[in-house]
Structure 1
Amino acid sequence: MKETLIKYIPEKAIPLVEYLINKHKVHLKIVNQRQTKHGDFRRLPNGQMQITVNNNLNPYQFLLTLIHEIAHHVTYTKFGKVQPHGKEWKTVFQHLMLPFLQPEIYPKTILPFLANYLKNPKASTDADAKLSLALREGKAESGKSFIFEIPNGSTFQFKNTLYKRGNKRRTRYECLNLSNKQVYLFNQNAEVILVTS
């Protein structure tokens, strides 16, 4: 397990993660990138519990996603069927993440945002714009830009569809889908391909 984990998470986190995987009998599967989620927890038809995590995440995102999914596993084992991101899961997730909140594992540029997020964790880390940006170390994927970086009125591509960037609401941007003329709200850290500015 260590040989696999060293490719995906910070080295200092490996003993803690190995302990959790063994203690909770986690079946971890590392999968290709999915557009809609970083990780997943499910009970397979044979009764086995499986956690999947995307292989394209950086070590800090990967570790947070893995612990998020282990928290689902532990919550399910302890409480049965409860709200996926309800109070039981939040408590378990906070408890599991606490030992990882140290500068040997997470850099000081991420720690304050992570600590703040863990006060009331959401279903997705991407819902916390500041944490999401810190986890990506302030850089969009090569060839892409964050939506907040592109000019208002510019055209961009997202999932093979063209949009025109509009005004910012509180935390999201209104963007006009140029095919169906509907307005969609985009997270400010959505990664898009700029077409014309």
Structure 2
Amino acid sequence: MRERVITWLKDNVSDHRLQHILGVEQLCIELAHCHQVDPQKAAQAGLMHDLAKFFPRAKLLEMAKKEMAEIDPVCATNPHLLHADASAMVARDTFNIQDEEILNAIRNHTLGNPQMSDLSCIVFVADALEPNRGQTPELEAMRQVSWQNLYKSVQQTSEYSLKYLIQTHRTIHPRAILTRNWALHLSKQQLSLVNKKP
């Protein structure tokens, strides 16, 4: 299965993107072992998270219209945001992935989602923190957090993305803010539990 996906990716994404995808796959496996999540599921979600990354805008909109009751206004004007949903469709229809947790992890890797599973959190974080993204002190510090506290890592990853979107004057999808607030709440909860321990 893995080789079949990689062969498909070689025909449908750039070499640079493929290196990113393989970096995400590897980091997903490592984070899954760290946070007691099924590493095979994490590997599959990581490998397939960007299947539709290079699909044209028109194709992304056409695929979304077939599956979604409605396309929200932000995605309608920024169809590249739909590549996560479209990637899950390709994983299901081309590679017969039926596991909803894997499909949701693929769907959630760009904007996140409040209440998302630990598997989704891992793919969301790995997409931003895999080694090919760079070695800046900020990214290195975020990588350290990803091993220690998954929800804190989701919060930091969300804030990192939001900061970039603000600095580059791009539209922010409301779900990105909801994801950040959800992760912030959970990481604060975890911290208070740790502080209460005798």
The TM-score normalised by the length of structure 2 is 0.31
Q: Which has the higher contact order (CA 8 A, sep 6+)?
A: 2
The TM-score normalised by the length of structure 1 is 0.31
Q: Which has the larger radius of gyration?
A: 1
Larger helix share, 1 or 2: 2
